[in-house]
Structure 1
Amino acid sequence: MKKLYFNYLNNFKGLSKEVWWLALITLINRAGTMVIPFLSLYLTKSLNFSLNQVGWIMTCFGLGSVVGSWLGGKLTDKIGFYKVMKASLFLTGVLFISLQFVTSFAGICAGIFLVILVADTFRPAMFVALSAYSKPENKTRSVTLIRLAINLGFSAGPAVGGIIITTLSYGGLFWVDGITCILATLLLTNVLHPKKSRVVDEVKNENPVSIFKDRAFWIFFASMIMFGVVFLQFLSTLPLFYKDAHHLTEFQIGLLMGLNGVIIVVLEMPLISWLEKSKFSKEILMFFGLFLTGLSFVVLNLANWTEILVISMILATVGEMIAFPFSNAFVLERAKRGNQGEYMAYYSISFSLSHIFAHNFGMQFVDVLGFVDTWNIMILLSTIGMVLILILVKMIKIEKNELKPSNATLN
């Protein structure tokens, strides 16, 4: 047991102190993200919106994410990651607290759009900061540490959120979300001031290649949209499935979703460290991650017993643990050929676009077709995503083969 413990700790060795500070800031910020997993329930149960209305509200969520990610990338390349992260965290906190006082359909659509726009300017900036503070050989593990922080907060968030809803109200979630964002801003200001920070690997390409000429990236981009649409059902339609089809309480839903974060906190870093040493490429690992995520919906249609929900969550979690870190590392590596902020922005935009379609389509499909056929559609989208990744694998092989002659000449 002692050996296992020290082996686990060894997975974190070599990461810079700035990456650890980024992880702590992210942990504080994400610990308050209790609103998001319960948003569909809040809108239907507390504000009495229809599934059709919730679908459009979640589309506004996605549109805000697209604009915010794009704007975050542009601002990061112009004014630097620090200023963008600081402004985003503080303003997001203020806006989350304000959002609870908006109750009309039009107001919620506009409010969600604005909150997520401001919140998602943080993501490209944070990824560029993460890349700058990480040694090249540590980038995947640095990404994994940030995800560990996200999921440590996310695992506690839904469980505590369920308790707050049960004992107080949904309004308390908005207060906690806003206050934690402001606290994260204060920590960022004190520990990651640019003059005090030590940049390890800041890449500035003087002659950047346009991202729009990078065909392999756009195949990857499309596969990530497919992955995002499928995975994001865990934040919108699946909580409704747990409630309506399996009659779970908000507290039980929080515990089930919290299982995702617990598994990631305990297993993701050792898993990623082991996979990095394997012979598999980042592209193949992304393929396997998407396969497991699709499989999590297959099992939902195999049985009606409640325990199948746990199996589905475990499969989706392992798929997520593999797909996210290696897709992120793939983009960080590829971004060296262009503007880093732009690459990380479009990586974030792939999931923002997923938000636009995932929640709305999911809600509409459930409303018209029911849960079973909706899960079948998610299985189909997973398959399309896997095919796209196989195409990406071939394109990367061709790229590497084209580079070999020039390398031979240099030698």
Structure 2
Amino acid sequence: MQKLFRNYIQSFSGLSREIWWLALITLINRSGAMVIPFLSLYLTDDLNFSLSQVGWIMTSYGLGSFAGAWLGGKLSEIIGYFKVILGSLFLTGISFIIIQYLHSFWSICAGFFILILIADTARPAFFIALSAYSKPENKTRSLTLIRLAINLGFSMGPAVGGIIIASIGYFGLFWIDGITCILAGFLMIYTLNPKKTKEVDKEIVVQNPLPAHLDWVYVVFLIALAIFGFIFVQYFSTVPLYYKEIHKLSEEKIGLLLALNGAMIFVLEMPLIAYLEKTSISKLNHVIIGSALTGISFLLMLISPWAGVLVIGMIVATLGEMISFPFGNAFALERSKLGKQGAYMGLYSMSFSIAHILGHNSGMRLIENFGYTITWITMAFLTLVALLLLFSIQISIKKYSTEVCTVKSNN
């Protein structure tokens, strides 16, 4: 047991002070993010919207995310990642407090579009900050630490959120979300002020930068990630509805089941990534393995009406998430060295925004028209499509490496 504990602690060693502060800011911010996992329930139960309307609201959410990711990439190149993150935290906090007072369909659509646009301007900036504060050999583990902070916050959020809903209602969640965003902003001013911190891996200035949208290997990779994101976002919209409608789980039990995801990531992800980094398996292969596991989790829900399958499915999906996301992020950061990081990471963030635009709405419509069984089969099929795209990238990269080696040997 002591050896396991020492290995766990060792997996965190070598990370910079700034990365730890960035992780703490993320934890404070995400620990208040209780609204998101319960959003579909809030819209249907509290505001009495239909599944079709909820789907369009989620699409507005996704469109805001897409626009915010693009804007964040641009602003990061113009004013720097620090100002982008700081402005996003403060304005997102104010937006969360305001949005609880919107009740009509169109005002909710507009409100969530603006909210997530502001919030997601910080996403490319966070990636650039993480890259700047982390040594090249520590980037994957640094990404994993930030994800650990995000998921620890999410694991606390749904568990506490379910209790808050049961006791005082949904409005409390919006206030907590808003206040924690603002607190995270103040902490960032105190700890990561550019005048007090130093970058350990500054962005490389490429003489002839390759535009992100012309790097076809990167574009195909992002298409595969967008499909994977389409599948993954179901766990924040259609899957909670499945828990409630088919398995009759209460909000508190749903919150605890979602909290299992964050708890597993908190305990297992960092040592798992530290171990996998030592293997000969490439980053892209890890993404393939993780994506496959997440797709399998949907098939597991078709096996039996036994509620225990939900726990098994969540465990398998979480393992897939733990493997695919850190190595997917690391692959994108590594590829971004070919051009401007702001543009590359903005495009990376936009791929997940596309998943939000299409995933929630399509998932709701599939359920409404065909039921949960067909919806889960569709997710498994889309997983297969994403895997084929990732395999095609892998073949192209190997072919390119072989050609380069051949040229060098001839010279």
Please tell me the TM-score bracket, short chain as reference.
over 0.9
Amino acid at match of 2:226: I
State how 1:361-380 maps to structure 2 within 5 Å.
361-380=362-381
CA contact (8 A) 1:68 1:117 kept: yes
1:402 correspondence with 2:403: yes
1:271 correspondence with 2:272: yes
Aligned position for 1:390: 391
Q: Which moved more, 1:395-404 or 1:293-302?
A: 395-404
User: Deviation of residue 401 (structure 1)?
Assistant: 2.2
For 1:37, what is the secondary structure of its paired residue?
Answer: helix
1:130 correspondence with 2:130: yes
State how 1:33-72 maps to structure 2 within 5 Å.
33-72=33-72
User: Deviation of residue 2 (structure 1)?
Assistant: 1.4
CA contact (8 A) 1:237 1:359 kept: yes
Deviation string 1:60-118 (CA, Å, 9 cap, x unpaired) is 01000000000000000111100000000000000000000000000000000000000
1:327 correspondence with 2:328: yes
For 1:38, what is the secondary structure of its paired residue?
Answer: helix
Deviation string 1:30-74 (CA, Å, 9 cap, x unpaired) is 000000000000000000000000000000010000000000000
User: Deviation of residue 3 (structure 1)?
Assistant: 1.5
Aligned position for 2:10: 10
User: Deviation of residue 213 (structure 1)?
Assistant: 1.9
TM-score, L = length of structure 1: 0.98
Amino acid at match of 1:132: A
1:304/1:65 Cα in 2 relative to 1: closer, same or farther (>3 Å)? same
Amino acid at match of 1:80: G
State how 1:242-257 maps to structure 2 within 5 Å.
242-257=243-258
Amino acid at match of 1:317: T
User: Deviation of residue 396 (structure 1)?
Assistant: 1.2
User: Deviation of residue 408 (structure 1)?
Assistant: 4.8
Unaligned runs of 5+ in 1: none
State how 1:106-125 maps to structure 2 within 5 Å.
106-125=106-125
Amino acid at match of 1:223: A
Amino acid at match of 1:99: I
1:407/1:13 Cα in 2 relative to 1: closer, same or farther (>3 Å)? farther
User: Deviation of residue 406 (structure 1)?
Assistant: 5.5
State how 1:55-94 maps to structure 2 within 5 Å.
55-94=55-94
Aligned position for 1:210: 211
**Counterparts of 2:10 and 2:76, CA distance in 1:** 33
Aligned position for 2:283: 282
CA contact (8 A) 1:205 1:337 kept: no
**Counterparts of 1:34 and 1:89, CA distance in 2:** 16
**Counterparts of 2:400 and 2:222, CA distance in 1:** 17
Aligned position for 2:95: 95
For 1:283, what is the secondary structure of its paired residue?
Answer: helix
Aligned position for 2:312: 311
May I ask how many residue pairs the two structures share in their alignment? 410
1:220 correspondence with 2:221: yes
Amino acid at match of 2:306: W
CA contact (8 A) 2:81 2:129 kept: yes
**Counterparts of 1:205 and 1:199, CA distance in 2:** 15
**Counterparts of 1:149 and 1:44, CA distance in 2:** 30
For 2:12, what is the secondary structure of its paired residue?
Answer: coil
User: Deviation of residue 409 (structure 1)?
Assistant: 7.5
Aligned position for 1:105: 105
CA contact (8 A) 2:206 2:338 kept: no
What value does the CA root-mean-square deviation take over the aligned residues? Answer: 1.0
TM-score, L = length of structure 2: 0.98
Deviation string 1:172-199 (CA, Å, 9 cap, x unpaired) is 0000000000000000000000011110
**Counterparts of 1:52 and 1:277, CA distance in 2:** 47
